[in-house]
């Protein structure tokens, strides 16, 4: 039976940060997103089997180690997807916490994405476009690069969601621009709501960058990371970023658990 993930890129994945004590955060959000992708692409999927795969992977990780854990949904079939398997891989995180970084630099990606493409809505193993832009960004000295869509709107980074700050207001590109609804992005939106902060999903174009006074990027591994430069625009690090980080950490601590037997 043909490995369709290897041949055609048919498959999905989720990336988790493993915290000390073999604990994961927001597991339900991650698996719900994988399940939604499986419904869209008509891939067989079992949340219980996914939980079992995560538990088996966690058993391999030393309890005092923080790690990046990837859950892969691999598709098989000769003429269509007939069955799927869940496989995991992990690697330790660097000892120096990325949160200690005073701010990272972002570039603007050298290509655009189609806002209506399902490949931007789900974490698919058809990931070459992201890897290409991520590698390009690192060669240019950037932490990541921001995509634009066919309308010239900023969408997301190759491995991050992005937020902009303007006089205490928080803006992030809308899902209609064509982006992954990140798990951490979802939590930041909820934290802002709980704290009574102004957060809107608004269209942002490169020409708008100079009107902001700050920015940050998110994903499940880095959590929240301040941005000091986007392309040729420099930003400060507003205190609201730390406020959001603390709110996020409270929600994260409340969600941490190890999948049981």
User: Hunting for tokens 């854990």 — which residue is that?
Assistant: 69
44-97: per-residue pLDDT in tens? 999 999 999 999 999 999 999 999 999 999 999 999 999 999 999 999 998 644
Q: Which two tokens stand for residue 105?
A: 């630099």
88-145: per-residue pLDDT in tens? 999 999 864 444 568 999 999 999 999 999 999 999 999 999 999 999 999 999 999 9
Question: Domain segments of the chain: what residues?
Answer: 4-92, 98-251
CB distance 120 to 180 below 8 Å: yes
State which CATH number among 3.30.1110.20, 3.40.50.620, 3.30.470.10, 3.60.9.10 fits the domain covering 4-92. 3.30.470.10
147-156: per-residue pLDDT in tens? 999 999 999 9
Query: Against a cut of 0.85, is the pTM above it?
Result: yes
**Mean pLDDT throughout 190-207?**
97
179-195: per-residue pLDDT in tens? 999 999 999 999 999 99
98-251: CATH topology is: D-amino Acid Aminotransferase; Chain A, domain 2 (3.20.10)
pLDDT band, residue 260 (cuts 50/70/90): low
- Among 179, 174, 185, which residue's Cα sits nearest to residue 158? 179
């Amino acid at each position: 039976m043909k490995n369709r993930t290897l041949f055609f890129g048919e498959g999905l994945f989720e990336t988790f940060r493993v915290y000390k004590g073999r604990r994961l955060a927001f597991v339900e959000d991650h698996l719900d997103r994988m399940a939604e992708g499986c419904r869209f692409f008509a891939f067989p999927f079992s949340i219980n089997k996914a939980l079992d795969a995560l538990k088996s992977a966690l058993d391999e990780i030393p309890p005092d180690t923080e790690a990046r854990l990837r859950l892969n949904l691999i598709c098989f079939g000769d003429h269509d997807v007939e069955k799927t398997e869940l496989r995991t891989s992990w690697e330790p995180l660097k000892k120096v916490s990325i949160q200690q970084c005073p701010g990272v630099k972002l570039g603007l990606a050298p290509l655009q994405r189609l806002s209506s493409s399902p490949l931007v809505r789900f974490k698919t193993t058809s990931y070459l476009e992201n890897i290409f832009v991520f590698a390009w960004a690192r060669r240019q000295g950037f932490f990541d690069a921001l995509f634009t869509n066919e309308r010239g709107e900023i969408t997301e980074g190759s491995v991050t969601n992005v937020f902009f700050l303007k006089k205490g207001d928080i803006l992030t590109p809308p899902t209609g621009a064509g982006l992954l609804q990140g798990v951490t992005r979802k939590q930041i939106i909820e934290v802002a709501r709980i704290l009574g902060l102004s957060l809107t999903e608004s269209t942002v174009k490169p020409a708008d960058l100079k009107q902001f006074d700050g920015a940050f990027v998110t994903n499940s591994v880095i959590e929240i990371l301040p941005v000091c430069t986007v392309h040729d625009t420099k930003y400060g690090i507003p205190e609201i970023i730390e406020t959001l980080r603390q709110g996020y950490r409270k929600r994260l601590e409340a969600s941490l658990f190890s999948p049981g037997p």
